[in-house]
């Protein structure tokens, strides 16, 4: 199966990435990954490998078609963390302030110039007791109210807390999420000093020692020209990577920028948050300087559902409120639109109002070919049609994905490709596909097209008598795309009181 082959290939990619001691071309990584996994190398393999590399937080693209472990690409690079009054008063720094570099470097120790570690601050026992109580209460509440755990809840009595939640593991010494700044020798500051008098924390990666070296510098004490030069490099790169119609996470772009440009991270330049805020070619959609890995940026003129910082607060609030109202209305109308589209397409195809259309029962075969045999035959038929390798692979992969779904998720009566009907296709595309598969609107369209073409081939081969059940699902493809969009939007309303009702309404029918 394609998904098994891809999983094997991705494991090989991670093994290679762990062994790398320098930058390496994507083509070379793809060739070795195919060899290690025993998978045939094709034109599509480099893209699959690139996707696998993008999922590894410790890897970074350090040039066109070139990748390296972050620990190697960022050797000697430094970044700036402006300290706040509260951090100085507490003598502690949130680890989130070291992101996105901290996680990309796999959370190494942070050392002061003296060699002392800026150690993790752990919660005291009294705080642990409070946390245990809060965890139990939150778990019970979540199990009672979260609709997406419906299968889990059906096996339990209402309000019952699972046994595994009664004794939270690993809470004898819990990481608070902060590190101790005392080794830096910061003197206590009285009063309320202005921002420009607060110091900066400079954190530099030492690959040989495997640590982040931290030091304190007066704010504004570095060479202004050197700082400005680094700021221009970073700003130009970020602005060049903003798509016209989408917002992107800042974190991954920051790591890539530091890996790509030798002059970036030397002094270092200003805090990345200040660079973004000070450049008119980009704007912050969500997040703040306290956790750069959660910051989302976009072009200044682009509107997104996540807006909040790009316009005046009142204007952004009105826009978001209007969008939420529109989303609610579309979700409530969706089941009716789907029902109408389904019946309209059935009438167009001349299907009965009561009898399900499908392959099952139309032709009695003495022996059904296995899924592997059907897929191999389909692959050969597509090759004979002269289709490009890319299109042929896509068509085979879509049928293979659906075959795996039938083998693992559907009752035995309908577990074969030649036994499905319109109910099976509807259940797959309007429930399983929406909730469990990585997908997009364009993939939904091509998926239904490729299944229709596969079943047309089976009809020509005499294995089924009527292909209209597959024509039907392709005919309502726009409704699959609509449900995908609504489901994505619904995730932004999880804290709203009507979320449960909206969720149930969206998946009705």
Strand order in the sheet with 92-94: 92-94, 175-180, 120-122
Same domain, 374 and 444: yes
User: Is the previous residue joined to 268 through a cis bond, with omega within 30 degrees of 0?
Assistant: yes
Average pLDDT, the chain: 82
C-alpha 175/C-alpha 123 separation (Å) is 6
Q: What is the mean pLDDT of residues 244-271?
A: 90
Q: How confident is the model at residue 357, as a pLDDT? A: 80
Confidence of residue 293 (pLDDT cuts 50, 70, 90): confident
Residues 203 and 344 in one domain: no
Domain span holding position 425 = 324-506
Residue 140 lies in a domain: yes
Closest CA to 103 of 72, 78, 73, 70: 70
Do 113 and 21 fall into the same domain?
A: no
- The highest-confidence range among 39-43, 118-122, 194-198, 267-271, by mean pLDDT, is 267-271
Nearest Cα neighbor of 402 from 459, 342, 344, 443 is 443
Each residue of 68-77: pLDDT tens digit? 999 999 999 9
- Do 48 and 105 fall within a single domain? no
- pLDDT (average), residues 322-346: 90
Choosing from 38, 56, 74, the residue where a domain stops is 56
Give a yes or no: residue 254 inside a domain: no
pLDDT at 378: 93
Q: What is the mean pLDDT of residues 241-270?
A: 89
Give the per-residue pLDDT at 152: 37
Number of domains in the chain: 3
The verdict on 361 and 490 lying in the same domain is yes
CA-CA distance, 116 to 318, in Å (whole number)?
51
- Other CB atoms within 10 A of residue 258 CB: 29
Q: Which two tokens stand for residue 365?
A: 């075969």
Looking at the predicted structure, is the pLDDT value of residue 307 above 60?
A: no
Of the segments 209-223, 295-309, 355-369, which one has the largest average pLDDT value? 209-223
Three-class SS state of 269: coil
The Cα 381–Cα 392 span in angstroms is: 10
Residue 397 burial (CB count, 10 A): 19
Q: Is residue 51 part of a domain?
A: yes
Listed residue (287, 313, 312, 290) closest to 298, CA to CA: 287
In a domain, 280, yes or no: no
Give pLDDT tens digits for 134-192. 666 665 555 554 444 343 333 333 344 344 334 444 444 577 789 999 999 876 555 55
Rounded to whole angstroms, how far apart are CA atoms 235 and 272? Answer: 9
- Alpha-carbon distance of 6 to 20, in angstroms, equals 21
Q: What average pLDDT score do residues 226-241 get? A: 93
Pair 363, 492 in one domain: yes
Q: 386-419: per-residue pLDDT in tens? A: 888 899 999 999 999 898 888 876 655 557 898 8
Q: HEC string of 90-112?
A: HCEEEHHHHCCHHHHCCCCCEEE
Backbone dihedral region of 76: left (phi > 0), alpha (psi from -120 to 50 degrees) or beta?
A: left
Q: Is the pLDDT of residue 361 over 60?
A: no
Residue 255 placed within a domain:
no
Question: Taking 60 as the threshold, does the pLDDT of residue 199 lie above it?
Answer: yes
Mean pLDDT of 39-62: 86
- Residue percentage of the chain with pLDDT more than 70: 79
**In a shared domain, residues 46 and 109:** no
pLDDT reported for residue 160: 40
The reported pLDDT for the residue numbered 138 is 62
Identify the H or E element spanning 188. none
In a 3-state reduction of DSSP, which class is residue 384?
helix
Question: Which helix (DSSP H) or strand (DSSP E) does residue 76 occupy?
Answer: none
The reply to whether 40 and 96 lie within a common domain is no
Average pLDDT over residues 423-443: 81
In this structure, the answer to whether residues 338 and 475 fall within a common structural domain is yes
Using 50, 70 and 90 to split pLDDT, how confident is the model at 39?
confident
- Tell me which DSSP letter residue 2 carries: H
Mean pLDDT (whole number) for 197-213? 93
Show the CA angle centred on residue 316, arms to residues 313 and 322, nearest 5°.
140
For residues 485 and 483, what is the distance between their CA atoms, to the nearest angstrom? 5
Predicted local confidence at residue 192, as pLDDT: 57
Q: Residues 37-42: what's their mean pLDDT?
A: 86
pTM, full prediction: 0.55
Q: What is the DSSP string of 8-48?
A: HHHHHHHHHHHH--S-EEHHHHHHHHHHHHTPPP-TTHHHH
Are 419 and 499 members of one domain?
yes
pLDDT recorded at residue 165:
39
CA distance 350 to 356: 12
The lowest-confidence range among 16-20, 176-180, 233-237 is 176-180
Q: Is residue 462 part of a domain?
A: yes
Average pLDDT score over residue span 328-342: 92
Q: Please say if the pLDDT value at position 1 is more than 50.
A: no
Same domain, 441 and 351: yes
Asked whether 17 and 71 are in contact (CB, 8 A), the reply is no
If you compute the radius of gyration of the chain from its CA atoms, what whole number of angstroms results?
A: 28
Quick one: pLDDT band at residue 197, thresholds 50, 70, 90? confident
Confidence of residue 42 (pLDDT cuts 50, 70, 90): confident
**Closest to 426 (Cα-Cα) out of 509, 362, 365:** 509
- Do 422 and 488 fall within a single domain? yes
Residue 44 covered by a domain: yes
């Amino acid at each position: 199966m394609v998904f098994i082959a891809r999983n094997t290939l991705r494991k090989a990619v991670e093994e290679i990435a762990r062994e790398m001691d320098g930058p390496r071309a994507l083509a070379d990584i793809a060739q070795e990954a195919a060899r290690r996994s025993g998978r045939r190398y094709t034109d599509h393999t480099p893209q699959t490998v690139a996707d696998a590399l993008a999922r590894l937080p410790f890897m970074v693209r350090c040039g066109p078609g070139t990748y390296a472990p972050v620990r190697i690409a960022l050797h000697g690079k430094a970044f700036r963390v402006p300290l706040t009054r509260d951090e100085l008063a507490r003598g502690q720094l949130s680890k989130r302030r070291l992101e996105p570099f901290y996680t990309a470097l796999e959370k190494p120790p942070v050392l002061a110039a003296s060699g002392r570690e800026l150690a993790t601050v752990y919660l005291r026992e009294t705080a642990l007791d409070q946390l245990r109580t809060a965890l139990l209460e939150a778990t019970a509440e979540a199990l009672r109210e979260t609709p997406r755990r419906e299968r889990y809840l059906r096996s339990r009595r209402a309000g019952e807390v699972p046994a595994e939640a009664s004794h939270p593991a690993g809470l004898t010494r819990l990481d608070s999420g902060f590190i101790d700044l005392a080794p830096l020798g910061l003197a206590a500051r009285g009063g309320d000093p202005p921002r420009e008098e607060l110091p900066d924390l400079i954190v530099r990666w030492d690959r040989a020692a495997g640590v982040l070296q931290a030091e304190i510098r007066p704010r504004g004490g570095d060479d202004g020209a050197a700082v400005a030069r680094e700021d221009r490099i970073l700003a130009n790169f970020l602005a060049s990577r903003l798509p016209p119609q989408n917002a992107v996470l800042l974190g991954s772009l920051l790591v890539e920028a530091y890996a790509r440009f030798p002059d970036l991270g030397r002094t270092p330049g200003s805090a990345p948050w200040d660079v973004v805020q000070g450049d008119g070619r980009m704007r912050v959609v969500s997040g703040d300087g306290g956790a750069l890995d959660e910051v989302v940026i976009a072009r200044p003129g682009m509107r997104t559902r996540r807006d909040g910082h790009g316009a005046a607060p009142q204007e952004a609030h009105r826009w978001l409120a209007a969008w939420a109202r529109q989303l609610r209305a579309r979700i409530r109308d969706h089941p009716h639109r789907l029902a109408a589209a389904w019946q309209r397409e059935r009438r167009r195809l001349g299907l009965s109002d009561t009898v399900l259309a499908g392959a099952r029962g139309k032709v009695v075969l003495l022996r059904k070919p296995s899924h592997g045999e059907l897929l191999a035959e389909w692959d050969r038929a597509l090759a004979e049609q002269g289709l490009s390798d890319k299109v042929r692979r896509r068509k085979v992969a879509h049928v293979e994905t659906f075959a795996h779904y039938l083998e693992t998720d559907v009752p035995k009566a309908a577990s074969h490709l030649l036994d499905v009907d319109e109910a099976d296709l509807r259940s797959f595309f309007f429930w399983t596909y929406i909730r469990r598969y990585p997908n997009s609107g364009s993939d939904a369209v091509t998926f239904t097209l490729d299944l229709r073409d596969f079943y047309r081939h089976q009809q020509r081969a005499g294995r089924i008598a009527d292909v209209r059940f597959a024509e039907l699902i392709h005919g309502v493809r726009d409704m699959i795309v609509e449900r995908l969009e609504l489901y994505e939007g619904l995730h932004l309303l999880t804290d709203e009181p009507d979320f449960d009702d909206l969720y149930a309404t969206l998946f009705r029918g």
